[in-house]
Structure 1
Amino acid sequence: MEDPREAVRAVAVTIRRGEVMTYGAIAFTTGLHPRQVGRHVAALEDIPWWRIIHADGTPPPATAGPPPPCSRRRTSPSAADGWTSAPCSTAPPQHRRPLRRHRMTTINSLWPTPGTALTDEQLLQSYAPPSGPWLRMNFVSSLDGAVTRDGLSGGLGDDADQRVFELLRRWADVILLGAGTARAEGYGGMRLPEESERWRVEHGLAPQPVLALVTQRLDLDPASSVFADAPVRPLVFTISEAPAESREALAEVAEVVEVGETVVDPMRVREELGRRGLRRIHSEGGPTLFSAFLAAGAVDELCLTLAPTLEAGPAHRIAHSTLAVPTAMELAAVLQGDDELLLRYTRARA
């Protein structure tokens, strides 16, 4: 299998002067997640990183400011494939904050059972969910609580986080995601690599997990690669007041399920997934969805990577809502990879 960092490099070096490409477009081309693309872009020093932009066409803060005129702009036949048209800089800004180069790293277990240089299989067993219904949230955060850098989670985690991020998906019957996060992070068709597919089949799971999106407004593009390239027909959870026209359009490419009148009911989401035999629920955010499920008592576990960085700035926390929802958790495991800590918490027993 091609090294993912080299795959990102191979795509990035093809972006010509006067052209730009989004994190999501690189993710779609390489088969990676935009969060993984962000990490590799941060680590690579010999690519035109200033030409890689957000899905909405805006550059990261390091490249903000009036850009010089471009000789060309990359245009897209549709937003579905991740391309966008936006002003771009043809020379790298000189004030980019330097980032240390990422290194391939081993992962050690600190608690409850000490161990060094854990294999993928050992990591998978350490993260094995219970046999019954289970909802796991997975996030990365800076030491001061920021959930994103430059608006994306991809710049925060190092290689240990990326390794666990990929492995956690293997256990999932369904991957649950807020529509806003899917747009911001540039998700495409949810297809796990062949190695993960083989592992899942050997362990009695479906070859690929189902992707389930949560949206109250149904503001999703039916032509998006999220649907067009999905190996399994996605689920879309929404409310009865959602626009009828959008519902009809999305029903052509996904199963649209009502789980509330005016707001999405997280417990109904879990019930509907359970009815379809999708008991192991793995959620990748975002903060608003996490808050809603936390308030409903629908979260069983949190996997949280603490990235070795302080960010400051306006970034949200991993859970974002207007009301506080104190929820007691119990520490289940602590892993370490270089300077990262990978924490696993489960909901405290009553």
Structure 2
Amino acid sequence: MDELITQLYPLPSSERQLKGLYLSHNLRQYSHVSKKPFVYANFIVSLDGRIAVPHEDGNGQAVPTSIANERDWRLFQELATQSDLLISSGRYLRDWAAGRAQEILRVDDPRFSDLKGWRLDHNLPPQPDIAIISSSLEFPIPEVLTKSRRKVIVFTTNNPDLERVKEIEATAGKVFVAGDSSVSGEKMVQQMHELGYHTIYSAAGPKILHLLLKGGVLDRLYLTQTNRLLGGQPFSSIVEGDLFDAPIGVNLHTLYFDSHGLDGLGQLFMSYNLANQPIPKSEMNPQ
């Protein structure tokens, strides 16, 4: 992790430490400036745009092991560390129950002991709360999620199974209706705001990114592009859903080249601000 990366944008170009790179973006300040939650998402993609390939056991899809790497994982953890609330899905909990998923923020991993300290220094609990988006409400809630008074908040659609709602609320937290046939990103984030969450990180998949974009509530997209081509079917990209009514514009915020990633093949670490979301001028050139 000691090898330097190159900042390509904003100019002037400079060499930067990987460790602490995304912590330096200081995401927690944004909601205090804008008086609304700051919502951000993150993906790692192959050069041909793939974020997932089928599991070896044929059940669902997962991040390709050929592009997953420790240097990107470090930055993923730095993004999760800064959040009050993590957005995930019922699929994530089902995968966890099946042994195909893990805790999103790994503060108990010795490699990330500094991130645990970072949260303590900022008067944050060891783990952020977790928000689950699910229309069916068909998912287990692992006990590990609810220990230490951690909250699980569920967002679903109209006319949910009331018995299932009672079961979830007796076990974990609160269920909120935030849409008719699908969850509305706008209604969901407004409810998160009313619950007191300021910094919200989507660690979920392309369908949830779609609803955040459609609702106009995503503020920043982080993207790692790896220098490997995968091919194959099915094709899964960062956004999946209906065609947007109008293309969604983004502005490049930061661009870094990691020449040491993927055994020297390299990768780009990029971040984009949504064009309709103002960012304080003081943060346009993170150091």
Same fold (TM over 0.5): yes
Per the TM alignment, residue 268 of structure 1 is displaced from its structure 2 partner at its CA by 1.4
- 3-state secondary structure, aligned to 1:116: strand
2: CA distance, partners of 1:316 / 1:289: 13
Partner of 1:254: 172
User: SS at the partner of 1:260?
Assistant: coil
**2:208 matched residue in structure 1:** 289
| Aligned residue identity for 1:152 | A
| Alpha-carbon distance between aligned partners in 2 of 1:226 and 1:241, rounded to the nearest angstrom | 29
Q: What TM-score does the superposition give when structure 2 sets the normalisation length?
A: 0.77
Task: Say how many residue pairs are matched.
Answer: 247
Aligned partner of 2:51 among 121, 131, 147? 147
Q: Write out per-residue CA displacement over residues 266-297 of structure 1, whole angstroms, 9 at most, x where no aligned residue.
A: 11111111112211110012111111111111
More strand by share: 2
Residues 59-100 of structure 1, C-alpha deviations (whole Å, 9 max, x = no match) = xxxxxxxxxxxxxxxxxxxxxxxxxxxxxxxxxxxxxxxxxx
- Give how far 1:308 is off: 1.4
Answer yes or no: is 1:278 the counterpart of 2:200: no
Give the direction of change, closer, same or farther, for the CA distance of 1:131–1:324 in structure 2 (3 Å limit): closer
| Residues in 2 aligned to 1:105 and 1:245: alpha-carbon distance in whole angstroms | 54
**1:160–1:340: 8 Å Cα contact kept in structure 2?**
no
Query: Do structure 1's residue 318 and structure 2's residue 217 form an aligned pair?
Result: no
| CA-based RMSD | 2.5
**Mapped contact 1:110–1:334 kept (Cα < 8 A):** yes
Change over 3 Å in CA distance of 1:152–1:141 after alignment to 2: same
Distance 1:305 1:134, change over 3 A: same
Deviations along 1:237-281, one digit per CA (max 9) or x if unpaired, are: 112322223212211222222212332111111111111221111
Give distance in 2, aligned partners of 1:180 and 1:192.
Answer: 20
Matched, 1:239 2:138: no
The answer (yes or no) to whether the contact 1:330–1:347 under 8 Å persists in 2 is yes
Contact 2:50–2:236 (CA<8 Å) still a contact in 1? yes
The structure-2 alpha-carbon separation of the partners of 1:182 and 1:346, relative to structure 1 and needing over 3 Å to count, comes to: farther
Give percent identity, aligned residues only: 23
Normalised TM-score (structure 1): 0.64
Distance 1:165 1:285, change over 3 A: same
- Structure 1 residues 191 and 334: alpha-carbon distance in aligned structure 2, compared to 1, 3 A threshold: closer
Per the alignment, in what secondary structure is the counterpart of residue 267 of structure 1? Answer: helix
Per the alignment, in what secondary structure is the counterpart of residue 320 of structure 1?
A: coil
Partners of 2:118 and 2:222 in 1: how far apart? 21
**Which of the residues 157, 174, 179 maps onto 2:68?**
157
Q: How does 1:21-40 map to 2 (within 5 A)?
A: none
1:292 maps to amino acid: L
Q: Return 5+ residue gaps in structure 1 as ranges.
A: 1-102
Deviation at 1:315, TM superposition (A): 2.5
**SS class of match (2:30):** coil
**Which residue is 1:108 aligned to?**
6
For 1:51, the equivalent position in structure 2 comes to: none
Q: Which has the larger radius of gyration?
A: 1
The answer to whether the Cα contact below 8 Å between 2:8 and 2:255 also exists between their aligned partners in 1 is yes
Query: What runs of 5+ residues in structure 2 fail to find an aligned partner?
Result: 32-36, 55-60, 260-265, 278-287
**Does residue 333 in structure 1 map to residue 254 in structure 2?**
yes
CA displacement at 1:153 relative to structure 2: 1.2
Q: Is the 8 A contact 1:189 1:230 kept in 2?
A: no
Cα gap change, 1:134 to 1:330, in 2 (>3 Å) = same
Partners in 2 of 1:231 and 1:145 — Cα distance? Answer: 39
